[in-house]
Every structure is written in structure tokens, then in C-alpha cells.
């Protein structure tokens, strides 16, 4: 049994398979062709933080695969009344075939997985957001081909998205130029950063030079709201704008996992401009995760 708790839980070979499979699943979806490998299978989705894309993409995706879903939140389940995570995992995993969790500490999802009879998927933790990077790289491949050897510029917080980009770079052979304000750097250990795949820049403009993809995220992630005012000050120069896009490669793409705050981490003319692929990126969450759910339950089917 495989869990998907962080990006490096799968190998480069497995990603090659998943990206091809996601393309096929997407093609069938666009042609209104049925793809029902998960009939009678149930996905439990547990949300301890808010979500739009993760909820809709997993829920719609599971139905499209022929299965069904159960949606739980902290507020409407015993999770919010301090039932131990281990007990919750033992119970929930006896009734469903797959579990997706969005929560705070990575250690919580690890405890759940350690007590689960079925595969567990990370739908975002403070530390990682592997499903998003799965979709982002699938989106890059659709637009530009293989990401191996390419350069991604990360502008902003050293957060769950940044950590996951760095894990992916080490695994799939591309480079990440990271620029964060002082005090908001990535935790290199958590990110598994390796010398060849990671370079730090104190100036965000320098990080964008020659990049094939420029990407950013909110200044304040969920769970860090108390730091909002301090972060607004610290991040003022880490706003992706036309000048940053101009020093990247002429065919550079712009991505943002969304939700976005125009005028904070990105200017409207960038996110709504011709280099932005944010809507494809959001849609691809569903196609990529359908491939992932099929793989975790059935293994390679092609
Ligand atoms: N990108 C992303 O995970 O969006 P949601 O928070 O809306 O799920
Ligand atoms: N880094 C953001 C991503 C939201 C999808 C957060 O954790 O809130």
C-alpha cells in the first residue's frame, strides 16, 4: 500500500506514468467518454482548513471515476472534539478505500497514515502541497514539454508550496531559483534541497532571470493569519510584476496555486496576462488527482 504524503513518496518513473495517465484521463473527460475504474470505491475527504479547488477537484474527480465521496470537516465531526487522530484513522479507514486530508502539521497526516488500512493523500499541510505540484508540473509539460533541465523561479514565502517545488526539483531534475524575504526562507531539510536543484537569491528580480516558469503564492498561508500585518511589510518587494516577467525567458509561464491576491504577491497584469496559465493549472488538479487516485488503488493499469 502506498500513501502520498509528500512529493518524494513517488519515484521519477511513477511520475512519468502519472503525467501520461493524467493526459489520457483528461482527453477522455473532454470527449465525454466514461472512465469508471473506481466503481464502488469511496474517498473520505477530511478538511481542517478551508478549500475550493482541492474540495471540488477531488469530489468531482472521484465521481467521474465511478466512485463516491464522504466530506468531513473539523467542525462537523469528532475531529473537532479532540478524538485522537489515530482512532479516527482506524475507524474511517475501515469504511472507505482512500482518504484525502488537509490539515496543519505534517506529523498529523503521518499519524493518520500510520494507523490507516487504506492509502492516504496529502491535500495540503503546513509543510507540503504535493497534489498542487503534481498538477503544476503536468501543466508545465502540457505547455512546454519535459520540465527536466528547466528553471523555476519561486518568489515569496518559503512555505508548503516552496518546499514541495524543491522536493520535485531534486527528484525530476530541474532547478528552482528561490527568493524569499529574510526570516521567511525555506527549511532546506524539509524541502530536501540538493546543491544542483536549488539556488537562493536575496533579490527576486535576480531569481527570475532566465526562468522558464515564474511562480508565487500568498504572503500569508492558512494557519499563519496572526502574522498577516508583519508579512505585508516583509513581502512588499516580493510581488511578481511585469519587470520580473520581462527578465525571465520570453516564453516563460506564470503559475499560482490560487487563491491569489492581486496587488499583493502578484500584479493583475501578470496573473491575468498572456503568460499566465493559472486556469489550466487549477483545472489540472482534477485530472492529475484522478490519475493519482487510480494509481494508488489499482497500480499501473496501462
Ligand atoms: N490551490 C489550492 O489548494 O486551492 P484550495 O485552497 O482552494 O483548495
Ligand atoms: N500556501 C497556501 C496555499 C493555499 C492553497 C496555504 O497553505 O494557505
Judge whether 277 and 212 are in contact, CB under 8 Å: no
CA proximity to 172, closest of 207, 200, 134: 134
CA–CA distances in Å: residue 214 to residues 15, 232, 234: 22, 21, 20
User: Which tens digit of pLDDT belongs to each residue from 60-103?
Assistant: 999 999 999 999 999 999 999 999 999 999 999 999 999 999 99
Contacts of residue 151, defined as CB under 8 A and 6 or more positions apart, other chains included, come to: 174, 175, 176, 177, 210, 211, 212, 213
**Is a pLDDT exceeding 90 seen at residue 302?**
no
Separation of CA 33 and ligand 2 centre (Å): 33
Contacts of residue 130, defined as CB under 8 A and 6 or more positions apart, other chains included, come to: 4, 5, 6, 7, 9, 122, 164, 167
Is the pTM higher than 0.85? The answer reads yes
Identify whether 150 is part of a domain: yes
Cα–Cα distance between 213 and 117 in angstroms, integer?
A: 39
Catalytic residue among 239, 257, 287, 289: 257
Determine whether 131 is an active site residue. no
pLDDT at 34: 98
Specify whether 52 is located in the same domain as 189: no
Ligand nearest to the CA of 285: 1
User: Which tens digit of pLDDT belongs to each residue from 219-228?
Assistant: 999 999 999 9
Three-state SS for 124? coil
159 lines ligand 2 (CB under 6 A): yes
- Residue 228, class by beta-carbon neighbours within 10 Å (0-12 exposed, 13-18 middle, 19+ buried)? exposed
**Is a pLDDT exceeding 90 seen at residue 171?**
yes
Rama region for 264: left / alpha / beta (φ>0; ψ in -120 to 50; rest): alpha
Catalytic residue among 41, 167, 217, 287: 217
Beta-bridge partner residues of 98: 43
Determine whether 257 is an active site residue. yes
Specify whether 101 is located in the same domain as 83: yes
Determine whether 289 is an active site residue. no
Percent of the chain beyond pLDDT 70?
100
Percent of the chain beyond pLDDT 90?
97
Beta-bridge partner residues of 100: 45, 121
What radius of gyration do the chain's Cα atoms show? 19
Specify whether 153 is located in the same domain as 259: yes
CA–CA distances in Å: residue 217 to residues 159, 173, 252: 9, 22, 17
Specify whether 199 is located in the same domain as 262: yes
276 lines ligand 2 (CB under 6 A): no
Give the ligand 1 atom nearest the CA of 54: 8
Specify whether 117 is located in the same domain as 171: no
Q: Which three cell numbers stand for residue 247?
A: 527578465
Domain count, the chain: 2
| Mean pLDDT of all residues in 247-260 | 98
User: Which tens digit of pLDDT belongs to each residue from 12-64?
Assistant: 999 999 999 999 999 999 999 999 999 999 999 999 999 999 999 999 999 99
Give, to the nearest 10 degrees, the angle between helix 130-144 and helix 278-298: 120
Q: How many CB atoms lie within 10 A of CB 13?
A: 9
Separation of CA 28 and ligand 1 centre (Å): 24
Q: Can you give the residue range of the structural domain that contains 182? A: 132-278
The CATH number of the domain holding residue 34 is: 3.40.50.1370
Specify whether 139 is located in the same domain as 273: yes
Residue whose CA is at the smallest distance from ligand 1 atom 2: 53
Identify whether 116 is part of a domain: yes
Separation of CA 42 and ligand 2 centre (Å): 26
Residue whose CA is at the smallest distance from ligand 1 atom 3: 54
Determine whether 285 is an active site residue. yes
Identify whether 264 is part of a domain: yes
Separation of CA 195 and ligand 1 centre (Å): 30
Specify whether 221 is located in the same domain as 147: yes
Three-state SS for 74? coil
**Confidence class for position 243, pLDDT limits 50, 70, 90:** very high
Judge whether 225 and 263 are in contact, CB under 8 Å: no
Residue keyed to cell 497514515: 113
**Is a pLDDT exceeding 90 seen at residue 134?**
yes
Residue keyed to cell 511585469: 242
Give the ligand 1 atom nearest the CA of 56: 8
Residue whose CA is at the smallest distance from ligand 2 atom 2: 221
Amino acid at each position: 500500500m502506498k500513501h502520498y504524503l509528500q512529493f518524494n513518496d513517488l519515484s521519477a518513473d511513477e511520475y512519468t506514468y502519472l503525467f501520461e495517465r493524467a493526459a489520457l484521463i483528461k482527453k477522455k473527460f473532454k470527449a465525454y467518454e466514461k472512465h469508471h475504474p473506481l466503481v464502488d470505491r469511496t474517498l473520505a475527504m477530511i478538511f481542517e482548513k478551508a478549500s475550493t479547488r482541492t474540495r471540488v477537484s477531488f469530489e468531482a474527480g472521484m465521481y467521474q471515476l465511478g466512485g463516491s465521496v464522504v466530506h468531513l470537516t473539523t467542525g462537523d465531526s469528532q475531529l473537532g472534539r479532540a478524538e485522537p487522530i489515530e482512532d479516527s484513522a482506524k475507524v474511517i479507514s475501515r469504511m472507505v478505500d482512500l482518504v484525502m486530508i488537509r490539515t496543519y502539521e505534517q506529523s498529523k497526516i503521518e499519524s493518520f497514515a500510520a494507523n490507516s488500512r487504506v492509502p492516504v493523500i496529502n491535500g495540503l499541510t503546513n509543510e507540503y502541497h504535493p497534489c498542487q505540484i503534481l498538477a503544476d508540473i503536468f501543466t508545465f509539460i502540457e505547455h512546454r514539454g519535459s520540465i527536466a533541465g528547466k528553471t523555476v523561479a519561486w518568489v515569496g514565502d518559503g512555505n508548503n508550496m516552496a518546499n514541495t517545488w524543491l522536493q520535485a526539483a531534486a527528484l525530476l531534475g530541474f532547478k528552482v531559483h528561490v527568493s524569499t524575504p529574510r526570516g521567511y526562507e525555506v527549511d532546506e531539510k524539509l524541502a530536501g534541497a540538493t546543491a544542483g536543484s536549488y539556488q537562493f537569491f536575496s533579490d527576486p528580480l535576480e531569481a527570475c532571470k532566465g526562468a522558464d516558469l515564474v511562480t508565487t503564492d500568498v504572503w500569508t498561508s492558512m494557519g499563519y493569519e496572526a502574522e498577516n500585518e508583519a508579512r505585508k511589510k516583509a513581502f512588499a518587494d516580493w510581488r511578481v510584476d511585469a519587470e520580473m516577467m520581462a527578465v525571465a525567458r520570453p516564453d516563460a509561464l506564470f503559475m499560482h496555486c490560487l487563491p491569489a491576491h492581486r496587488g499583493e504577491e502578484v500584479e493583475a497584469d501578470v496573473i491575468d496576462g498572456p503568460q499566465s496559465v493559472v486556469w489550466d493549472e487549477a483545472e489540472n488538479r482534477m485530472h492529475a488527482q484522478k490519475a493519482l487516485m487510480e494509481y494508488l488503488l489499482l497500480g499501473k493499469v496501462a
